[in-house]
Amino acid sequence: MTKIDTRLLREVAELEGTPKGAFNIRKNGQLDSRASTANIEIVSKEDKPGIDIHVKPGTKQESIHIPVIITQSGWMELVYNDFFIGPDCDIVIVAGCGIHNAGDELTKHDGVHTFYVGENSKVQYVERHYGEGEGTGERIMNPQTVVHLAKGASIQLETTQLRGVDSTRRYTKVIVGEEAEAVITEKLLTHDRQVAESEMDILLEGAGATGRVISRSVAQDSSEQIFYPRVVGEQRCFGHVQCDAIIMDKAKVKAIPAITANHTDAQLVHEAAIGRIAGDQILKLMTLGLTEAEAEEEILNGFLR
pLDDT digits (tens, 9 = 90+) for 234-278: 999 999 999 999 999 999 999 999 999 999 999 999 999 999 998
Q: Give the three-class secondary structure for 52.
A: strand
Instruction: Report pLDDT for 22.
Output: 98
- The model's pLDDT over 77-128, given as tens digits with 9 standing for 90+, comes to 999 999 999 999 999 999 999 999 999 999 999 999 999 999 999 999 999 9
Is residue 60 in some structural domain? yes
Is residue 191 in some structural domain? yes
CA separation for the pair 127, 222 (Å, rounded): 26
Do residues 151 and 117 lie in contact, with contact meaning Cβ atoms separated by under 8 Å?
A: no
Is residue 15 in some structural domain? yes
- The model's pLDDT over 178-200, given as tens digits with 9 standing for 90+, comes to 999 999 999 999 999 999 999 99
Is residue 298 in some structural domain? no
How many domains in the chain?
Answer: 1
pTM attached to this predicted model: 0.95
Is residue 303 in some structural domain? no
CA separation for the pair 44, 38 (Å, rounded): 17
Do residues 225 and 245 lie in contact, with contact meaning Cβ atoms separated by under 8 Å?
A: yes
- What one-letter code names the amino acid at 29? G
Is residue 35 in some structural domain? yes
Domain of 94, in residue numbers: 3-279
Nearest CA to 162 among 19, 18, 304?
304
Kind of pairing, strands 22-27 and 30-35?
A: antiparallel
Is residue 143 in some structural domain? yes
Type and span of the H or E element at 97: strand 90-100
Is residue 301 in some structural domain? no
- What one-letter code names the amino acid at 141? M
Do residues 117 and 148 lie in contact, with contact meaning Cβ atoms separated by under 8 Å?
A: yes
